[in-house]
């Protein structure tokens, strides 16, 4: 197994944290990018010995500088996991312009901001693995998530298009679409709504971050080169597309 440099955005909490650990356990040099929660990031670094880097994925220039610092420390990024994402749930008639823009910028602009700075190197070296984290709600829609669902549906189109561009250059691009997983992201969802959501999951439980991380670790393997442009649902059967 070749040890490669992997960059995971939102890599210190929730699903991203589990992905960072899974890639480290697979023998890769992992850079975990965070922005908001300093304390959680430091605790993650102390517990896992995984290197952490701080910048905002919605800022194109910050991504250029951040990726340069990762590459200086670990060498060219060969595996990119675009995981960072936020919610600002509200029905559209109550949604603010800021709710819309923040979500699109963090969840969708970040796809361009990160991928643009690594794609040329991946093409030149004839190897690259990009996994983008979508969502069940980008596939089926969700009350209160026009912003989030639009961003996550956008991730699928981005994935398919970049997969076509990378196919002849050893670069695979795939999407994982988690359902409801037990992470901090669910903290703001009211108990009555959570009950309804749980009742709609056929396997009868929330997903775990590790459920998703195992799939990501598989997709970035050297011998997964025939898998590209695909979206993998991990949602306990809640939505079958
Ligand atoms: N379908 C139809 N109508 C609905 C509905 C639904 N799914 N949900 C709510 N409504 C109706 C309610 O019945 C209510 O109707 P009345 O006014 O006639 O009583 C009305 O819409 C208002 O509903 P709320 O009281 O829920 O409205 P609110 O403004 O208090 O809350 C909300 C809105 C914050 C969006 C809340 O509905 C909510 O939290 N929804 C869940 C959103 C969600 O699933 N987020 C996922 C977060 S995790 C994630 O995103 C990760 C991932 O990828 C899966």
Please state the domain extents for the chain. 5-234
For residue 89, report the distance from its CA to the centre of ligand 1, in Å.
8
H-helix or E-strand containing 178? strand 171-178
- Cα separation of 163 and 140, whole Å? 22
Q: How many residues does the chain have?
A: 241
Q: Is 56 one of the catalytic residues?
A: no
CB 161 within 8 A of CB 112: no
Query: Per the residue annotation, which of 34, 148, 180, 239 is the catalytic one?
Result: 148
Superfamily of domain 5-234 in CATH is: NAD(P)-binding Rossmann-like Domain (3.40.50.720)
What pLDDT is stored for residue 48 in this prediction? 98
| Inter-residue long-range contacts of 85-90, CB under 8 Å, 24+ positions, other chains counted | 85/10, 85/133, 85/135, 85/148, 85/151, 85/152, 85/185, 87/145, 87/148, 87/185, 87/188, 88/147, 88/148, 89/144, 89/145, 89/148, 89/188, 89/189, 90/144
- Cα separation of 69 and 94, whole Å? 40
Mean pLDDT on 160-171: 98
Which residue has a Cα nearest atom 53 of ligand 1?
135
What pLDDT is stored for residue 186 in this prediction? 94
pLDDT at 1 over 90: no
Mean pLDDT on 84-102: 98
Mean pLDDT on 59-68: 98
Spatial CA neighbour of 229 closest among 151, 178, 162: 162
- Cα separation of 190 and 174, whole Å? 32
The string of DSSP codes covering 186-222 is GTTS-HHHHHHHHHT-TTSS-B-HHHHHHHHHHHTSG
Which residue has a Cα nearest atom 37 of ligand 1?
144
Mean pLDDT on 21-25: 98
pLDDT tier for residue 241 given thresholds of 50, 70 and 90: confident
Mean pLDDT on 144-168: 98
Task: Kindly tell me the number of DSSP H helices and DSSP E strands found in the chain.
Answer: 9, 7
Q: Probe ligand 1: pick from 91, 139, 145, 195, max atoms within 8 Å of CB?
A: 91
Q: Probe ligand 1: pick from 143, 154, 211, max atoms within 8 Å of CB?
A: 143
Q: Which residues line ligand 1 (CB under 6 A)?
A: 87, 89-91, 94, 135-137, 142-145, 148, 178-180, 185-186, 189-190, 193
CB 136 within 8 A of CB 86: no
């Amino acid at each position: 197994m070749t040890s490669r440099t992997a960059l995971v955005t939102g890599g210190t909490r929730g699903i991203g944290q589990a992905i960072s650990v899974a890639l480290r356990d697979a023998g890769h040099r992992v850079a975990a990018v965070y922005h908001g929660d300093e304390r959680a990031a430091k605790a993650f670094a102390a517990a896992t010995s995984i290197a952490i880097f701080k910048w905002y994925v919605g800022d194109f220039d910050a991504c250029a500088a951040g990726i340069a610092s990762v590459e200086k420390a670990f060498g060219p990024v060969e595996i990119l996991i675009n995981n960072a994402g936020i919610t600002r749930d509200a029905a559209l008639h109550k949604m603010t312009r800021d709710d819309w823009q923040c979500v699109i910028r963090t969840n969708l602009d970040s796809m361009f901001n990160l991928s643009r700075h690594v794609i040329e190197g991946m093409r030149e070296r004839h190897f690259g693995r990009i996994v983008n984290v979508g969502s069940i709600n980008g596939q089926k829609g969700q009350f209160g998530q026009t912003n989030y669902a639009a961003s996550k549906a956008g991730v699928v189109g981005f994935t398919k298009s970049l997969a076509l561009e990378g196919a002849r250059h050893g670069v695979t691009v795939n999407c994982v679409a988690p359902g409801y997983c037990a992470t901090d992201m669910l903290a703001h969802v009211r108990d009555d709504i959570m009950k309804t959501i749980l009742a709609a999951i056929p396997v009868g439980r929330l997903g775990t971050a590790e459920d998703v991380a195992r799939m990501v670790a598989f997709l970035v393997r050297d011998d997964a080169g025939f898998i590209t442009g695909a979206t993998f649902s991990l949602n306990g059967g809640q939505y079958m597309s």
